[in-house]
A and B are shown apart, each in its own frame.
Chain A
Amino acid sequence: MWRWLHPYAKGEASYRLLGRWLPWLTGSAVLTMMVGLIWGLFYAPPDYQQGDSYRIIYIHVPAAIFSMGTYTAMAIAALIALVWQIRTAEWAIAAIAPVGAVLTFIALFTGAVWGKPMWGTWWEWDARLTSQLILLFLYLGVIALYHAFSDSRTGAKAAGILALVGVVNVPIIHYSVYWWNTLHQGATITKFEKPSMATSMLIPLLICLLGFALMTAAFICQRLRNEILRQELHRDWAQQELN
């Protein structure tokens, strides 16, 4: 396995590999997203309790799930970068963080939009909302630290350490926020009880989940390619690629 993996520690090889993956990822992402969203937004039956406004779930839930998933991916990249000193993994941190931050923001934003008609307020100090907000701060911290250094290598390593510290903290923060919420305010809002979803609603949600996964992968792929190109600008192959 190592013999197979080893070439991809070099910028050029991983650039080409990602370039081969990218069209497939993008194509399948667009396709599944379109199927999932059109099915979810137009053809899935309305909810008996929430009517049509529940449909935002088809964007909200995938974004929320993958906002945490990308953090894990970033932490794994950070671990690889710090332990094996593989530069591609260092660049992956920089490539993944903004994508994760945007997903977190989408989850927060759609959550707020959903909360307005359902709970009657844009923002509720609900446990999930709060821990999502903190996750956004963690992402922003990683991005800010990465860009704070003039030497991008140091920046990537520092951001990697922060990502690892963060990933230890994410579960602690998550559960402490849950616990805080139940302690402080109890059920002041009639939070919508999640009904076990009907299959006709669940299938488009699963397709949307797949679509979001592919889309996230495609974005990370493209960003990583750009980052590799930017960092290897002084190399011959990068110059040839650009001309």
Chain B
Amino acid sequence: MIKASTWQVVKTLMRRDLKVALRRRSDIINPLLFVLMVVSLFPLAVGPGPDVLGRIAAGVIWVTALLAALLGSERLFRDDYLDGSLEQMILLPVPLPVLALAKIAIHWLLSGLPLVILAPLAALLLKLPVEGWSTLLLTLLLGTPILSALTAIGAALTVSLGRGGALLSLLLLPLFIPLLIFAAAAVEGALVGAPVVGQVVLLAGLMVLTLTLAPLAVAGAIRVSVN
């Protein structure tokens, strides 16, 4: 019998998830295309003037990011649930919350980080004034892990339901609201030249809190779903 340490298990799990995801690149690329499409719809809808666009740019990018997070959430646990790996994860002699955190980390690497990288392009399209750029990127960098963690809770709760799309948005969007408020306020503050340390620190605090508690909720939800 081979005894593997927790860290080894986590590393193996993450490597496997990365490999699986990289073999199906469209799952990673499609949400990003969605973001770009939605962002480019806004100038068509409200007019291309920089005054209006620059004013709403940060909010639009953030709302789009929330929707994209919902869009890509199904793949978090779906395949593992269908082929029984999720059950095996419960049976592993490794705390389930740790594995949940690993899943969240991989999900962030594949959906949150690309979004942060894409954000300057979206900001360019929406003519966000340069003063707001660094703050936007910082809020996205702090906020997307929160998105991944909360999405994981919703995905774990609905994984056994088959199609949980609309239900998932009902469950998750209210939980996203504080994130949206702080992030949008930070960028808006940066645009008028106000100090944004407060909002950024609050976001960082939210991130730590979410990453601490969410894995427990995800683990509980997985146990309920697999049953």
Interface residues of A (CB under 8 A from B): 82, 134, 137-138, 140-141, 144-145, 148-149, 151, 154, 157-158, 161-162, 164-166, 168-169, 172-173, 176-177, 179-180, 183-184
Contacts and interface: CB of A to CB of B under 8 A. Distances in A.
Contact of A145 (B157, B174, B175, B177): B157
Contact of B157 (A138, A158, A177, A183): A158
Give the size range of B's interface with the partner.
20 to 34
Contacts of B221: 158, 161
B213 A158 contact: no
Given A154-B225, A165-B217, A168-B213, A145 B171 contact: yes
A137 B174 contact: yes
B171 A177 contact: no
Contact of A183 (B174, B185, B206, B227): B185
A161 B157 contact: yes
A174 to B, nearest CB: 9
A161 B181 CA distance: 25
Contacts of A137: 170, 173-174
Contacts of B227: 151, 154
Highest count of chain A CB atoms <10 Å: which of B153, B171, B185, B217 = B171
B164 A148 contact: yes
Contact of A154 (B160, B170, B174, B206): B160
A140 B174 CA distance: 11
B182 interface: yes
A172 B185 CA distance: 15
A177 B180 CA distance: 10
A41 B151 CA distance: 47
A68 to B, nearest CB: 15
Contact of B167 (A144, A151, A172, A180): A144
Nearest to B227: A154
Interface in B128-176: 153, 157-158, 160-161, 164, 167, 170-171, 173-175
Contacts of A158: 157-158, 221, 224-225
A144 B224 contact: no
A173 B225 contact: no
Contacts of B224: 154, 157-158, 161
11 contacts: A145-B157, A148-B164, A149-B161, A158-B221, A161-B153, A161-B217, A162-B157, A165-B175, A169-B178, A173-B177, A176-B177
B174 A134 contact: yes
Contacts of B43: none
Contact of B182 (A140, A162, A176): A176
A180 B181 contact: yes
A151 B164 CA distance: 16
Contacts of B160: 149, 154
B148 to A, nearest CB: 15
B120 interface: no
Given A148-B167, A154-B160, A138 B174 contact: yes
A209 B47 CA distance: 51
Contacts of B181: 176-177, 179-180
A183 B181 CA distance: 10
A108 B153 CA distance: 28
Contacts of A162: 157, 171
A71 to B, nearest CB: 12
A144 B177 contact: no
Contacts of A154: 160, 224-225, 227
B147 to A, nearest CB: 14
A227 B174 CA distance: 28
Contact of B170 (A140, A164, A184): A140
A169 B182 contact: no
Nearest to B164: A148
Contacts of A165: 153, 175, 217
A158 B157 CA distance: 6
A231 B147 CA distance: 36
Nearest to A137: B174
Contacts of B161: 148-149
A133 to B, nearest CB: 9
